[in-house]
Amino acid sequence: MAKQESWTKKDLTGIEELSRAEIELLFRQADRFLPALAPGKGLDLMRGRTVVNLFLEPSTRTRTAFEISAKKLGAEVVSINTTASSLVKGETLRDTALNIRAMGVDAIVMRHSSAGAARYLGNALDISVVNAGDGAHEHPTQALLDAFTIRQRFGKIQGLKVTILGDILFSRVARSNILCLTKLGAEVTLAGPATLVPATLKEAYPQVRIVHDLKKALSGADAVMLLRIQHERQTTTHFPSLGEYTSQFGLNAERAAWLKPEAIVMHPGPINRGVEVESEVADGPRSVILEQVRNGVAVRMAVLHLCTGAIAR
Amino acid sequence: MNTAEHTPLWIRGARVIDPSVGRDDARGEVFAKDGRFVDKLSKSDQARAQVIDAAGLILAPGFVDLNCRLGEPGRGARESIRAGTLAAAAGGFTSVVTMPDCLPAADNVGTIQLIRELCARDASVRVLPAGTLTKGHEGKALAPIGSLKKAGVVAVTDTTSGVQNNEIMRRALEYAAMFGLVVLDHCQDSSMTDGAQMHEGAWSLRLGLRGYPRAAEEIVVSSDCVLAGLTKARIHLQHLSSGGSAEIVRRAKAAQASVTAEVSALHLLLTDAALAQYDTRLKLNPPLREEADRQALIAALVDGTLDAICSDHSPCTATEKDCEFDLAPFGAATLETAFSAAYEAIVADGHADLNLLLQRLTCGPARALGLDAGTLRIGGLADVVLIDPKATWKPSAKTLLSKSGNNPLLGRTLKGRIRSTFVGGQLITKDGQPAK
């Protein structure tokens, strides 16, 4: 496969828009940023630039990771969260964004509850827009850091068996990961209750395997990605209770033994200990959860650097 | 509309198609006087008549739309009766049935009178208001249907609110039938569509948008067919979107149920794949569905399961649609492009001939509601369209007459063009622009 040498996209709104070569280019950039993660280290590639984190849905982890990523690159960062936002006063997203743009900002990192919002904003603005999660659509930096972590552990992604377990239907993390992993050549299995992992997902993503039996889903897998069970979104119609979910699909040591011996356990956080995963697994030797968090900074540095660099100053 | 004192009309040279009587004359003539069709003009009338040479064009009865919204009263930013009826004429529609979900809702005599007054002042085509079935189209208590009928409504419907309670639907059907009013029903089980944004399928899964399953429509189509059997009342099923719905109607009609049904022109042309870029202009209720549905709807239109093509003109402002997909209102402005959309889907794509398409735009819908329209019958209202089936055109925001900016076919090359539209023998629009 031809190596892509330069990045041309001002926005990162989804994995869907990225080619395999672009993803690999981004990983090589993230590799180069790993040393800057050490305490006391930092770069000045984005000195004089300003990044606005526009978070219209609650988030601590992703927003913090983006703030640190921008600061490690020397950029100024301003974070706007939903309660401080003028959007609650009825201003449109376009107007809010145009106002931020008018203040001389280089990039907007946005989290929004509506699918497609990041693409809408990217089309509306001539500055970089990075999607930090849009409804149930995509969360591209999460998928990139997940794949980056797998690549770091196994030295490759092609041919690996990855199982994504949990609420696929409402999950932007799952969508971005399905796209990212299949583009990189992994074999993806989706697992969980039939209400959250409907068989029709196969029509949307023909490359994936859909399994509702946990043992089948985990046996022979190189990696399992657990998704946070978000009861508030799933209402009462999609599964009966958290206890029932845990009894059917929660990952404990006994079930983790179905995985390959060298398999890893991943989670985008925040973890519901005792719901989708038991502490013995989350804190055990298979867990790469904190490596994911660390890699997330390097990957987001690469995204901010490449996207803002794609616009001629 | 005052049509009494007008110049006689004499159109000649056109291919004349009147599906209501199976007429198709390669070169025919049509005469109108005092707003109605006549079989000939006297010598003196001929001398003062407006003579139109329509060689190369198709002459047909003016189209009848059973499902549109004209903004007023209450939503004047979206559409006005003046602009909306000119848009209707530009699209070939000379009689339009308006949905009652205006503000205030058309659930009372006063609102119907207001609509009629506004139309007397501003309308360029015949506006036939529908009233609500229940108060405030809330589905709880019956609207004063008898009084609404007296005030001039041609049908009753709760439009996109739907009627969720089968007992209320049953009693409403029985009550409306007493006045000879057809009930129009938008078929949506709202318990299955909470937060739904588009058709539930591969595209909704990819886009992360809440799905609106076919079953939510098909369940209500089924219950409506059952209730039509129980009450013997007439139900007209609005803008069906699912292939399964068409099949249910086909079986109900075979069992002599008193149901008729329509499909919107956009649903004949487009599928949910058109939403891949979150184009809010295509956020519709019911939603665009899959290619298999589109093909099934076309087949049902051709075999007569579906009686009518509607515009489903639901104007929104450009500002309302310029937002996140979840927040955009449902609906598209379609009056001016409905014929071309249906022409492409049905005739240009080879599914049926122009005669069938015109039947579904004229006497098909007129018969479903028992309207005096959609025919060239001598003595009937002289509403006529001249069509150029060979023309292609590109709708643009600058030239469309609707006040709303949310026509999803802007910039697309369309086939088949309405050249002239006459209401009561008077030229209203020519080549998409007001005649005056």
What CATH number is attached to the domain comprising A79?
3.40.50.1370
Query: Is residue A9 included in any domain, yes or no?
Result: no
- Distance separating the N- and C-terminal Cα atoms of chain B: 16
pLDDT one-digit tens code per residue, B111-138: 999 999 999 999 999 999 999 999 999 9
Interchain CB contacts (distance < 8 Å): A and B: 64
Interchain CB distance below 8 Å, A93 and B324: yes
pLDDT one-digit tens code per residue, B250-268: 999 999 999 999 999 999 9
A134 has a chain B CB within 8 A of its CB? yes
Interchain CB distance below 8 Å, A201 and B205: yes
Per-residue tokens: A253: 């040591």
Say if residue A220 is in the same domain as residue A250: yes
Closest partner residue to B208 (CB to CB) among A136, A201, A205 is: A136
Query: Is residue A107 included in any domain, yes or no?
Result: yes
According to the model, what pLDDT value does residue A233 have? 57
Q: Choosing among A137, A167, A176, which should be mutated to test the B contact, i.e. which has the most B CBs within 10 A? A: A137
| Interface confidence: ipTM more than 0.90 | yes
Interchain CB distance below 8 Å, B323 and A94: yes
Outline where B11-144 has alpha helix (H). 43-48, 81-90, 109-122
Say if residue A151 is in the same domain as residue A65: no
pLDDT one-digit tens code per residue, A209-227: 999 999 999 999 999 999 9
According to the model, what pLDDT value does residue B38 have? 97
Say if residue A159 is in the same domain as residue A50: no
pLDDT one-digit tens code per residue, B138-156: 999 999 999 999 999 999 9
Residues of B in contact with A205 (CB under 8 A): 205-206
A300 has a chain B CB within 8 A of its CB? no
Say if residue A50 is in the same domain as residue A73: yes
Min Cα–Cα distance to chain A from B170, Å: 29
Q: Choosing among A92, A112, A114, which should be mutated to test the B contact, i.e. which has the most B CBs within 10 A? A: A114
Say if residue A129 is in the same domain as residue A167: no
Q: Grade residue B4 by pLDDT with cuts at 50, 70 and 90.
A: very low
Identify the active-site residue in B279, B312, B353, B372. Answer: B312
Please, which residues 88-117 of chain A have a Cβ atom closer than 8 Å to chain B?
92-94, 112-117
The boundaries of the domain holding residue A254 are 140-288
Residue B74 has pLDDT above 80, yes or no: yes
A120 has a chain B CB within 8 A of its CB? yes
Interchain CB distance below 8 Å, B208 and A119: no
Burial of A215 (0-12, 13-18, 19+ CB in 10 A): exposed
Query: Is residue A5 included in any domain, yes or no?
Result: no
A214 has a chain B CB within 8 A of its CB? no
- Binning chain A into helix, strand and coil, the percentages to the nearest 5 are 40, 15, 40
Radius of gyration in angstroms for the set of CA atoms belonging to chain B, rounded to a whole number: 20
Say if residue A118 is in the same domain as residue A221: no
Query: Is residue A1 included in any domain, yes or no?
Result: no
Residue B287 DSSP code: P
Burial of B332 (0-12, 13-18, 19+ CB in 10 A): buried
Q: Average the pLDDT over B343-347 and give the result.
A: 98
Query: Is residue A47 included in any domain, yes or no?
Result: yes
CA B160 – CA B100 distance, rounded (Å): 10
Give, in order, the Cα–Cα distances in Å from B1 to each of A190, B5, B117, B363, B425: 63, 11, 11, 22, 12
Interchain CB distance below 8 Å, A115 and B325: yes
Interchain CB distance below 8 Å, B208 and A112: no
According to the model, what pLDDT value does residue B2 have? 47
Q: Choosing among B206, B214, B327, which should be mutated to test the A contact, i.e. which has the most A CBs within 10 A? A: B206
Say if residue A160 is in the same domain as residue A244: yes
Say if residue A203 is in the same domain as residue A275: yes
pLDDT one-digit tens code per residue, B383-434: 999 999 999 999 999 999 999 989 999 999 999 999 999 999 999 999 999 9
Min Cα–Cα distance to chain B from A123, Å: 11
Interchain CB distance below 8 Å, B324 and A138: no
In total, how many domains does chain A have?
2
Say if residue A152 is in the same domain as residue A279: yes
Say if residue A269 is in the same domain as residue A151: yes
Query: Is residue A172 included in any domain, yes or no?
Result: yes
* Alpha-carbon dihedral sign for residues A169, A171, A175, A177: negative
- Binning chain B into helix, strand and coil, the percentages to the nearest 5 are 35, 25, 40
Output b/e per residue, B311-320; b: 16+ Cβ within 10 A.
Answer: bbbbbbbeeb
Counting as low any pLDDT under 50, the low residues of chain A are: 84
- Domains parsed from chain B with CATH numbers: 9-59+381-434 (2.30.40.10), 62-369 (3.20.20.140)
Residue B6 has pLDDT above 90, yes or no: no
DSSP string, B29-59: EEEEETTEEES---HHHHHHSEEEE-TTSEE
Min Cα–Cα distance to chain B from A134, Å: 9
Say if residue A221 is in the same domain as residue A261: yes
CA B316, chain centre distance (Å): 17
pLDDT one-digit tens code per residue, A38-80: 999 999 999 999 999 999 988 888 999 999 999 999 999 999 9
Closest partner residue to A114 (CB to CB) among B201, B319, B327 is: B327
Active-site residue, B312 included: yes
Say if residue A97 is in the same domain as residue A198: no
Per-residue tokens: A194: 């039939």
Residues of A in contact with B201 (CB under 8 A): 200, 203
